[in-house]
Structure 1
Amino acid sequence: MQRLFTSAGETLSGTPWNTYPRPQLVRKDWLCLNGKWHFTCGGTETEINVPFCPESLLSGVNIKMEYGREMVYSRCFTVPEEWEGKRILLHFGAVSRKATVRINGKEAVSHEESYLPFSADITDLICEGENEISVTAVNDLSHQHPWGKQKEKRGGMWYTPVSGIWQTVWIEPVPERYIHTLTIHTGRDYAEITVNGADDGAVEMNGVCYPLVRGMVRIDVKDPNCWCPENPYLYRFTVTAGEDRAESYFALRTLTVERISGIPRLCLNGEPYFFHGLLDQGYWSDGLYTPAASSCYESDILAMKALGFNMLRKHIKIEPEQFYYDCDRLGMIVFQDMVNCGEYHFLRDTILPTAGWKPLNDARLNRDQAARENFLKTMDETVRLLGNHPCICLWTIFNEGWGQFRADDAFRRLKALDGTRFVDSTSGWFARKLSDVESLHIYFKKLRTGKQDRPQFLSEFGGWSLKIPEHSFNLEKTYGYKKYENRETFVRDLKALYLEEVLPMISRGLCAGVYTQVSDVEDETNGLLTFDRKEAKVTPEEFRDVSDRLCKAIKEQA
């Protein structure tokens, strides 16, 4: 396999990801604990560059893991003197999969999910001067917990697993009573902000102070500036509660299903909108789950916006919050997948559905009770974690039947948590009764709309391979649904696919489309960018007009 570095990976130096990791609750003081840690696993004892997983090039370890074996990370840190008298909170963005954290030999916190952040108050465990932090982690690739596309035997549409710490580790000081989280609900002209952890205080925005009443405040906005990809306006505010102070933001936008000329449409801010998207796996050639720098997200987003895309379907992965913040501020809609649990069966979940077979009932699918409970718990936590981000406009619950069970019950549960966004219950196939969209995956046939009287969503299509050898991970194997040898033919056919098949479907109810995909990933060479992000297979000059015609077409339907 070729060692491929992104441009950011080639120039990586200093403390990686030294960027404030929680953009929706920003405090002035914090300390990044990324960088060099001592690392042991089996017979390997070395330094590792956190937050990059040991399977990655950027970690400096780049080993073949023995899954199920313990990894131990350790390093020392000193709490700044000016934080004396404060509570000290320790935060992990994510560790895959199980983690036990100790401070000076005493357990501080344990956690069992690969894609969610966790924290601990370590005030009573630290001492003056130097402190030791250690993390014992195990990635057992358990399918009873969300696992995404990680496979020990990677290949095709399955990728190298990600073990151990893969997001930022950091500490911050807070007063005895502090702001825990913010919950923000918005409409077209108002925002309701709940400050969890505080009853008294105030929110200040644009020079106006709004007092908290039992930890809540409503801000009515005159002449609202509504968020959309073409105008990603953010309202920034400051929360003060006792001695604590934090900065945050919200955006105003609405998502509704409206019947336009007799056809159900997905509407953004009351107007039919074509959600023109790409599948985004969130893998990088040198860091796997973690790009070399937080700025890499901005580069991907802007590259896709330059082509005219306005949406990314974040595929069965939860990113660091920086990704969603960049989408918020740059104007990129996100359709966010839940991360799959349970077993995948090639015959049941891929071959038979592609041929047209569908189960009559999903109540008996994925009958592992632990997997069901962990999936639903993680779904709930995902909504709570990301729910304040205006860029997220749709949640996907199940993808192609992977771990699917009782989809209608899951739809009701998710809608109870968040009734403001669209929900795609079953992306691809195995549809049940409840969903805001009819969601189809079509790779080997002529594109078409479905038969249900609901907004039509072509949630995956394309996946065409154009392999550029010098920027490809696997020179021996190529994965894609149609293979091209030269760029000119690929671009010609890509434009024709959109203009001759996608465009006519808009008048028949198509509201959103997701082409596979943003970038190559390992064996897959079906991205619009190479795995190392160094080559684009289509340029804005070649494709922007196609995107403009799609977005104009849906406005004409109104």
Structure 2
Amino acid sequence: MGKFAELYTEEGLKMPKIPWDVYPRPMMKRDSFLCLNGEWDFSIKYGKEECIFEKITVPFSPETLLSGIEADIPEENYDSMVYRKSFSIDEGFDRGRILLHFGAVSNYAEITFNGKTVGIHRGAYDSFSFDVTSLVKKDNVIEVYAKNILNDKLLPYGKQSRKRGGMWYTPTSGIWQTVWLESVPLEYIKNIETYTDSNRVTVKAEGIDKGRVQVYTDNGTIEYEMNGGECVFEIESPRLWSPDDPYLYNFSVETETDRVESYFAFRTVEIKEKDGYKRILLNGKPIFFHGLLDQGYWSDGGMTPPSPESYAYDIEKMKSLGFNMLRKHIKIEPQQFYYDCDRLGMIVFQDMVNNGSYSFIRDTALPTVGWQNRSDKRMHRDNSTREMFVEGMEKTVKALKNHPCICCWTIFNEGWGQFCGTEMYGRLKALDDSRIIDTASGWFSKVESDVESKHVYFRKAKLKAGKKPLVLSEFGGYSYRVEGHIFNPDREYGYGKYKNRDEFARAFCELYKNEIIPLAKKGLCASVYTQVSDVEDETNGLLTFDRRVMKVTPEEFLPISEELKNCIE
């Protein structure tokens, strides 16, 4: 990568031969799992030229240090990235069907199994699978022909850019999440959905008619019958999920031939007036949603954390400072992230991933100086782009809606790809009416939304609560570069620059004491500081890009978090 520093995380230096060798679907866990991560053959194919293969470590994209390649993938003037993996399957693995799963491939993939094409997938952030039962042998070969198509802006792309720099990041191309095999019976449980309301639980299982649901409580196991693929039951005096008590109810769904494990939680999110202000309530009580912007990038793995424990590390570090919320910024993570937030007690405000063109003048400069109250009906008018965004939104909700940690959906960020916000709000409410929706985070606000969402950089946050809950969905972004942990020595990107740790920590703490706490007392419901970690040129994180240094200590900031928490509870 030329002039950029090679920053390894501690976990990256200890990476095992098979990375991410953990079950990738904790929300629907089955006891069949063959991890195909690790060493694959890799080549970039140009026209009729013969492929020259080298070794790559999956699931890390070829641009990353941990891939072992650190390649510059060309614009789009190549046929494909070619991945190839040979592997064996033990006798006894096959239970009737064999499914080949991909956590995510950015952003176009054609898959062959033992020489036969089994499917094509478009999209960088969602999982997909194929039934390869009829093709499986003892010795097998998978080939993946992938491209990361970014120029036409049709597919959701998030922060990926061929012209990285500033707030845009090096692309994550090709395979970037776990590849694995699973064997299931001929008739199997395809998906689980859970719904909780008061003390009532509904469990729906796709692919089966009859079965048993076993719920594991502190007082023992309770069994219920499932009919028509559905089971409804009640839990007496349920224990509510919250950041302070992230209680999960474990359960299983079982048929004569199949069994999966999952979990659910009881928690509510609603908007009500309290003490003269519109507030967001968790479990019927107003809390301050004390959050951070979470980009989900690592110095050595790009969008892929170096290990499954990386998410918990970030979450626990931020909880040690008193934060109770992460705004997952225009990225969909592997399920491990949401599971860790569920079990550790970290609320998530989840962004949809943007597509469509970006204009610095339209989407950044003019709104920053206050030009935000405009219609979005004529923005991003290409029907294919709009349809692709809606498809991505629907897939995101289906994949993540069981997770209790997610309390808010963000549809559009700063006008990026924004169109017909009021219509998109209605579509999303129809998919999931149990969560708060921030339709237009920070920017073009002339749309239906559950909250008033503002971004404030460069100036003091002078906000006034109104008819909707007031959310400061981005602010801060103070920059402090830690020597020895700087990705780009030639550029520093942030909002306000500090030369040493003490100066940075003092300014960070004073920002909350002088602006956020007073605003919380006058109706502010949530704040999102930019950000969890440095990312490439951005040096405005509380952690360095390699996660080795935290720039502020719990001793300095936790008392401020407690004061913020107490001012509305």
Using the size of structure 2 for normalisation, the TM-score is 0.96
**Structure 2: segments with no counterpart, 5+ residues:** 46-50
CA shift at 1:310, angstroms?
0.4
**Cα separation, 2, equivalents of 1:521 and 1:433:** 31
Question: Secondary structure, in 3 states, of the residue corresponding to 1:384?
Answer: helix
18, 31, 34: which one aligns with 2:34? 31
After the TM superposition, which residues 515-534 of structure 1 pair with which residues of structure 2 at under 5 Å, given as runs? Answer: 515-534=529-548
After the TM superposition, which residues 359-374 of structure 1 pair with which residues of structure 2 at under 5 Å, given as runs? Answer: 360-374=374-388
Question: Secondary structure, in 3 states, of the residue corresponding to 2:551?
Answer: coil
With 182-191 and 513-522 compared, the bigger mean Cα shift is at: 182-191
Aligned 8 A contact 1:144 1:368 in 2 = no
Aligned 8 A contact 1:90 1:120 in 2 = yes
- Other-structure match for 2:167: 157
With 159-168 and 212-221 compared, the bigger mean Cα shift is at: 212-221
141, 148, 154: which one aligns with 2:158? 148
- Other-structure match for 2:88: 78
- Other-structure match for 1:63: 71
Structure 1 residues 308 and 85: CA distance shift in structure 2, 3 A: closer
Structure 1 residues 44 and 63: CA distance shift in structure 2, 3 A: farther
11, 15, 20: which one aligns with 2:18? 15
Question: Secondary structure, in 3 states, of the residue corresponding to 2:65?
Answer: coil
AA of the residue aligned to 1:407: G
Structure 1 residues 85 and 419: CA distance shift in structure 2, 3 A: closer
CA shift at 1:125, angstroms?
1.4
Indicate yes or no: 2:46 matched with 1:46: no
Aligned 8 A contact 2:95 2:184 in 1 = no
Aligned 8 A contact 1:313 1:336 in 2 = yes
CA shift at 1:77, angstroms?
1.8
AA of the residue aligned to 1:136: Y
**Cα separation, 2, equivalents of 1:365 and 1:21:** 38
CA-based RMSD of the aligned residues comes to 1.0
AA of the residue aligned to 1:275: F
Indicate yes or no: 2:354 matched with 1:351: no
Indicate yes or no: 2:138 matched with 1:135: no
- Other-structure match for 2:441: 427
Indicate yes or no: 2:513 matched with 1:504: no
AA of the residue aligned to 2:183: P
**Cα separation, 2, equivalents of 1:44 and 1:361:** 51
Deviations 1:8-29 (A, max 9, x none): 0011122000010000110112
406, 420, 425: which one aligns with 1:392? 406
Indicate yes or no: 2:303 matched with 1:271: no
- Other-structure match for 1:551: 565
CA shift at 1:44, angstroms?
5.6
CA shift at 1:361, angstroms?
1.4
**Structure 1: segments with no counterpart, 5+ residues:** none
Aligned 8 A contact 1:438 1:450 in 2 = no
With 191-200 and 38-47 compared, the bigger mean Cα shift is at: 38-47
- Other-structure match for 1:212: 226
**Cα separation, 2, equivalents of 1:98 and 1:496:** 46
Question: Secondary structure, in 3 states, of the residue corresponding to 2:180?
Answer: strand
Deviations 1:366-386 (A, max 9, x none): 111111000001001100000
Aligned 8 A contact 1:518 1:527 in 2 = yes
71, 76, 87: which one aligns with 2:97? 87
**Cα separation, 2, equivalents of 1:448 and 1:111:** 46
AA of the residue aligned to 2:544: T
Indicate yes or no: 2:307 matched with 1:293: yes
- Other-structure match for 1:197: 207
**Cα separation, 2, equivalents of 1:301 and 1:522:** 20
**Cα separation, 1, equivalents of 2:397 and 2:95:** 34
- Other-structure match for 1:185: 195
Question: Secondary structure, in 3 states, of the residue corresponding to 2:64?
Answer: coil
- Other-structure match for 2:48: none
AA of the residue aligned to 1:18: D
Indicate yes or no: 2:118 matched with 1:108: yes
CA shift at 1:432, angstroms?
2.2
Aligned 8 A contact 2:35 2:181 in 1 = yes
236, 242, 249: which one aligns with 1:235? 249
**Cα separation, 2, equivalents of 1:436 and 1:388:** 21
Indicate yes or no: 2:184 matched with 1:174: yes
Indicate yes or no: 2:473 matched with 1:464: no
AA of the residue aligned to 1:437: V
CA shift at 1:450, angstroms?
4.2
Deviations 1:44-93 (A, max 9, x none): 62000000000000000101111323100011122221124520011000
Aligned residues: 554
Residue identity (%): 52
Indicate yes or no: 2:545 matched with 1:538: no
Aligned 8 A contact 1:395 1:423 in 2 = yes
Segments of 4+ moved more than 3 angstroms: none
AA of the residue aligned to 2:423: D
Question: Secondary structure, in 3 states, of the residue corresponding to 1:25?
Answer: coil
Question: Secondary structure, in 3 states, of the residue corresponding to 2:319?
Answer: helix
